[in-house]
A and B are shown apart, each in its own frame.
Chain A
Amino acid sequence: MTPPLLRALDRWLFAPVPRERLALLRLAIGGYAWIYLLARARDLLAPAQFPASAFAPLGIVSLLDAPLPAAALYAVYGLSVLSGALFVLGAAYRSVAPVFALCLLWVLSYRHSWGMIFHTDNLLVLHVSLLALAPAADAYAYPRRAAGGDSLHNGWVVRALCLVTCAAYVVAGVAKLELSGIRWAGGSALREQIAYDALRKIELGSVHSPLGPWLLPHRWLFAPLSVFSLAAELLAPLALLGGRWAASWCLGAWLFHLGVLATMAIVFPYPLSGVAFLAFFPLERWFARATRRTSG
């Protein structure tokens, strides 16, 4: 006899999801990851020339005691680009997708293992990992193949993509409350953060956003901005209700990242591109509508 709560969880987690939605998520998220790998090639391969003394391995790279030889870094990067292309196409998906997920995790972790963690890549890696373990190439794949199994039990993947997204934002929100307390919502911490970010960039001879320093004398602005930022993070679970809740939260989170870009010139490309939020929406219906429109 299953308790009602567990039955409800089971229904929610395994709610039917058309295989086309999973495939579109594969195309969008995998495509984004692949382009991202190519666009950041120079930066991702830069550790080949970093001094070994700056090596500070983290995550999966903690398996290493010393930096990889440059040739190994280039080889893993090359494999990630190749497997990424196959991931997007959906070719040999069951064997290639986990390879791509692992390579992406390795390449990005390795780049972050030089004393500075950039928090812009976390969601991308988690999303690709989830898709890699799911039958996301049962539609829109090349070469085309017969759809395997029944797609009705794959809803957990989409749920997990949404849950992981919400969890990451909640952790970021709770971190602010843990480290600064509810004072964070008062505005002074955000004002200080924006000033600090611009100042360190000036000290390091880099470019900073002119908007952030321009706003600093207007102290009153920062309390509402802080409340909005905290709400965008802590209220993320509301998006799990779907529909307008999801759309409203995604818009709020996107605006939050836009604000970070405008005031601190810090780019979170994955959420800003919108791809990070696609799992909350019925992509297959959008796609069908768009296809109908273009075909007349």
Chain B
Amino acid sequence: MTPTEFVRRALGYALGLGMPAAVLSPLFTGARDSFPLSTYPMFAQPRGQPTLYSVVALEADGREARLPPSLIGTKEVLQAKVLIQHSVEAGPEAMAQLCADAAARVAAAPGFSDARSIAIVQRRYDPVDYFVKGPTPLAEQRLFECALSPGATAPAPR
């Protein structure tokens, strides 16, 4: 075997077996989910009765409409979930900011002309029961509410 061939073979072994071993490594190291080496937890975790946060527009008669991610400040639903959750965890100041930003976007958006205020809501559900028995939450709490500001300038999407 020539030195060049030896190096090629060594590289082949190192990468050809090393890369798959790295992909498998979270199974043995207990490493946290990362990228591109992942523990792939997405469909694996039991969900139980999760608490979900949402931002809603409240109308004068008490009806509410869920705000889509674009009015919360992102295009992606998962990113919207993270934005709301971070704000809730960070406390009233962060919730006030999220609420005010959403209120300004809603004021400038079509389809929310009856909205009077914006609220950040926490609800606990049994997800299967929601669809099989009916959409009643197990628990519900309004965490923050802010008034709509007509004519406000919508902040840039986050």
Contact = CB atoms under 8 A, between A and B. Distances in A.
Contacts of B95: none
Contacts, number: 194
A121 B35 contact: yes
Nearest to B5: A153
Contacts of A116: 76, 78-79, 81-82
B46 A199 contact: no
Contacts of B128: 191-192, 195, 216
B44 A184 contact: yes
Interface residues of A, number: 71
Contacts of A51: 158
A107 to B, nearest CB: 11
A206 B68 contact: yes
Interface residues of B, number: 67
B9 A153 contact: yes
Contacts of B66: 202-205
Contacts of A42: 75
A118 interface: yes
Nearest to A233: B40
Contact of A159 (B16, B72, B77): B16
A121 B37 CA distance: 11
Contacts of A115: 79, 82, 86
A246 to B, nearest CB: 16
B19 A130 contact: yes
B40 A164 contact: no
Contacts of A199: 52, 125, 127, 130-131
Interface in A225-260: 229, 260
A170 interface: yes
A112 B46 contact: no
B67 interface: yes
Interface string A80-122: 0000000000000000000000000100110010111111011
A59 interface: yes
Interface stretch (A19-27, A171-179, A282-290): A171-179
A242 B143 CA distance: 56
Interface of A: 10, 13-14, 42-43, 46, 49-51, 53-54, 58-59, 105, 108-109, 112, 114-119, 121-122, 125-126, 129-130, 133, 153, 156-157, 159-160, 163-164, 166-168, 170-172, 174-176, 178-180, 184, 189-193, 195-196, 198-206, 213, 216-217, 229, 260
Interface of B: 5, 8-9, 11-13, 15-17, 19-21, 23-24, 26-27, 33-48, 50, 52-54, 65-69, 71-72, 74-84, 86, 90, 94, 123, 125, 127-128, 130-132, 156-158
14 contacts: A53-B86, A54-B82, A117-B33, A117-B34, A121-B36, A163-B16, A164-B19, A192-B128, A199-B125, A199-B130, A200-B81, A204-B69, A213-B131, A216-B132
